[in-house]
Amino acid sequence: MMRALVTGSAQGIGRAIADTLVGRGYGVVGADIQVQESAGFEVLELDVSDTGACRRAVAQLGRVDVLVNNAGVLVERPPESISDEEFDLTMAVNLRAPFVLSVAVSEGMKERRWGRIINISSVGARTGGISQSSAYAASKAGLLALTKNFARNLGPFGVTTNAVLPGAIATPMALKQFKNDRALERQVVAANPTGRLGSPEEVASLVAFLASDEAAYLNGTCIDVNGGWVMT
């Protein structure tokens, strides 16, 4: 049985990914700083901003065939209002943790000549985000560069690295954002050719494909899942 580690698995896209992979026969470990209720998979309490904890977690887990770097934080304030601590935390969770975890799992993947690393970025990586998500957008843009670099370095060993860029998805994080700005929600939905928000399950289905053997020739790709809201 293939073993997958999914960070940020307590809710939203991460929970949908974990549930989808379980349904497709993977042994899933869901890692999150939040308590995970009624999870149908192995749960691990992990603060991904702690690099030492990340490395220890991978060492304790042993074999990891699929890594999904999904955990993320979003500070919603204008750039001039974001503190140094908030900026550093955003980078630690959204960018440094994927780097640390990818390095940690890659050694075993290289030895087995098979592995999948899937980074959950954001449409904000392409657009620069909205006015109050500067640190988040910057971290997610950095994740695209990280994806391509790891793809180049690990590809010769049968390990692929790809990124998924969700747009407006009906997650607790997005719904909280829209609750504070209904005009933004109306604007986003109106600008989308599908006329709706996406679902976490739609993102999870793509992740499950990227984790499969069928996606073996996809490497270094950054795939948008936004209903045509942003086309590149």
Q: Which stretches of 18-150 are assigned E, i.e. beta strand?
A: 27-32, 42-45, 66-69, 115-120
Is the Cβ–Cβ distance between 59 and 52 less than 8 Å? no
Is the Cβ–Cβ distance between 1 and 24 less than 8 Å? no
Instruction: Report the Cα 74 to chain-centroid distance in Å.
Output: 13
Catalytic residue among 26, 41, 99, 136: 136
Is the Cβ–Cβ distance between 4 and 28 less than 8 Å? yes
85: Cβ contacts below 8 Å, ≥ 6 apart = none
Cα separation, 135 vs 132, whole angstroms: 9
Is the Cβ–Cβ distance between 203 and 169 less than 8 Å? yes
Buried b (16+ CB within 10 A) or exposed e, 109-119: bbeeebbbbbb
User: Would you call 26 a catalytic residue per the annotation?
Assistant: no
166: Cβ contacts below 8 Å, ≥ 6 apart = 13, 120, 122, 123, 198, 203, 225, 226
- The residues annotated as belonging to the active site are 136
